[in-house]
């Protein structure tokens, strides 16, 4: 009986190992997370906090390096990913509702949401509409009724530019409540340098209402200076915020999460993409991430893979429609 040579055995073993690993993907080197803004903002927080959890739990070999790449509201990072990192499986890029807003409004010139792969969202800061403690408006419907009667009767303030996400929250709610298309552009919105400044104007009686995120409103709610008429979430938020009614409870089907999540380059392999999806699922359910969410005021919001891809594309379309209605884009 003739036995195979050592060389043949090694070759066979190598082929068997390769076959067993076909379709498998492991992140074998230090990964990189691009934060499309300067240090200190929401995208920077997303990269650094998720990167730390990935490393602490051993989901990734080495560390996750955060690279700040500001410019064009995320457009520089998006273009860099599309044009220079198209198949880099060790790259993730922080994104949020601000990303989909700019995509919807064509601010990433020559680029769209189909040019990357959307991995998932790991929490959200939900939108709110609020008034001062002395305001005559007791509910979101009271506010909407005033706008239906006279779109100029209520001045809103928020921390984004006109046409940005804070402005759009009011329009999303107004549209869902049946305010006429012709009246939506007439609703007054004043842009401030941040949510706190806008709230100060509301509390001081200079404008009637605030549109922003629940994290911005919490301190003013606790002091009793601000009354939140509605949170724009699918259901009530966890305690201690569970006393705030949703817009849906008031028969206004408006949901506006400022989600925190990631995309990866378009041409990464299906195996690499699925690895990122599965790994972000593990991050979201970990005790480490739950602690980060509580410490930073993030609310439960989790979509990954195909579900998240569909959500992003629907959000882009919805924002595009309302931006067209109010004349921001043609």
pLDDT digits (tens, 9 = 90+) for 169-182: 999 999 999 999 99
Which of 28-37, 105-114, 199-208 is least confident? 28-37
> pLDDT band at residue 5, thresholds of 50, 70 and 90?
low
Mean pLDDT throughout 181-196? 91
Write out pLDDT tens, residues 285-322. Answer: 999 999 999 888 899 999 999 999 999 999 999 999 98
What mean pLDDT, rounded, does the chain reach?
90
Taking only the tens place, the pLDDT of each residue in 239-261 is 889 999 999 999 999 999 999 99
What sign results for the dihedral spanned by CA atoms 197, 198, 200, 204? positive
Tokens 């990072």 correspond to 77
CB contact at 8 A, 96 and 231: no
Per-residue confidence band for 330, with pLDDT thresholds at 50, 70 and 90: confident
All CATH 3.40.190.150 domain ranges of the chain, comma separated, are 31-125+259-325
Confidence (pLDDT) at 325: 84
Mean pLDDT of 37-66: 92
DSSP string, 136-149: S--SHHHHHHHHHH
pLDDT bin (cut points 50, 70, 90) of residue 186 is very high
Q: Which CATH superfamily is domain 31-125+259-325 in?
A: Bordetella uptake gene, domain 1 (3.40.190.150)
Q: State residue 27's pLDDT score.
A: 67
- CA of residue 329 relative to chain centroid, distance: 22
Q: Which CATH class is domain 126-250?
A: alpha beta
Find, among 95, 91, 161, the residue nearest to 123 by Cα: 95
Instruction: Pick left, alpha or beta for residue 164 (phi over 0 → left; psi -120 to 50 → alpha; otherwise beta).
Output: beta
Q: What single DSSP character describes residue 246?
A: B
Q: Is residue 6 over pLDDT 50?
A: no
Q: What is the pLDDT of residues 12-45, one digit of tens each?
A: 444 333 333 334 667 666 899 999 998 888 899 9
Q: In 10 A of CB 119, how many CB atoms?
A: 25
304 or 160, which is more confident: 304
Q: What is the mean pLDDT of residues 83-100?
A: 95
* pLDDT(70) > 70: yes
The share of the chain scoring above pLDDT 70, in percent, equals 92
Chain region(s) in the chain for CATH 3.40.190.10: 126-250
Sign of the dihedral defined by the CA atoms of residues 61, 63, 64, 69, in that order: negative
Q: Is the pLDDT of residue 67 over 70?
A: yes
Rounded CA-CA distance 126/257 in Å is 4
pLDDT of residue 53 exceeding 90: yes
Answer whether residue 229 shows pLDDT above 70: yes
């Amino acid at each position: 009986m003739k036995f195979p040579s050592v060389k043949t055995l090694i070759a066979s073993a190598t082929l068997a190992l390769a076959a067993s690993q076909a379709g498998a993907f492991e992140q074998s080197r230090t990964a990189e997370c691009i934060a499309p803004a300067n240090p200190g903002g929401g995208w920077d927080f997303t990269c650094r906090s998720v990167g730390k959890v990935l490393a602490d739990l051993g989901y990734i070999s080495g560390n996750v390096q955060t690279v700040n790449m500001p410019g064009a509201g995320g457009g520089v990072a998006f273009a860099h990913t599309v044009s220079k990192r198209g198949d880099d499986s060790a790259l993730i890029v922080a994104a949020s509702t601000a990303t989909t807003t700019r995509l919807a409004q064509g601010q990433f010139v020559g680029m769209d949401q189909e040019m990357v792969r959307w991995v998932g969202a790991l929490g959200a800061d939900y939108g709110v509409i609020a008034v001062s403690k002395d305001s005559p408006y007791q509910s979101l419907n009271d506010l909407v009724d005033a706008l239906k009667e006279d779109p100029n009767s209520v001045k809103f303030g928020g921390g984004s530019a006109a046409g940005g996400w804070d402005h759009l929250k009011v329009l999303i709610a107004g549209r869902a409540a049946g305010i006429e298309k012709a009246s939506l552009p007439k609703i007054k919105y004043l842009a401030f340098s941040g949510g706190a400044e806008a709230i100060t104007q509301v509390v001081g009686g200079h404008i009637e209402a605030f549109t922003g995120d629940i994290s911005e409103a919490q301190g003013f709610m606790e002091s009793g200076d601000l009354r939140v008429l509605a949170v724009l979430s699918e259901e009530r938020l966890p305690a201690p915020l569970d006393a705030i009614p949703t817009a849906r409870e008031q028969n206004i089907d408006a949901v506006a999460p400022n989600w925190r999540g990631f995309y990866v380059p378009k041409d990464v392999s299906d195996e690499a993409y699925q690895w990122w999806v599965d790994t972000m699922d593990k991050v979201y359910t970990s005790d480490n991430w739950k602690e980060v969410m509580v410490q930073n005021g993030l609310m439960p919001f989790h979509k990954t893979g195909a579900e998240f891809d569909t959500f992003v594309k629907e959000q882009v379309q919805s924002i595009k429609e309302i931006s067209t209605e109010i004349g921001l884009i043609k």
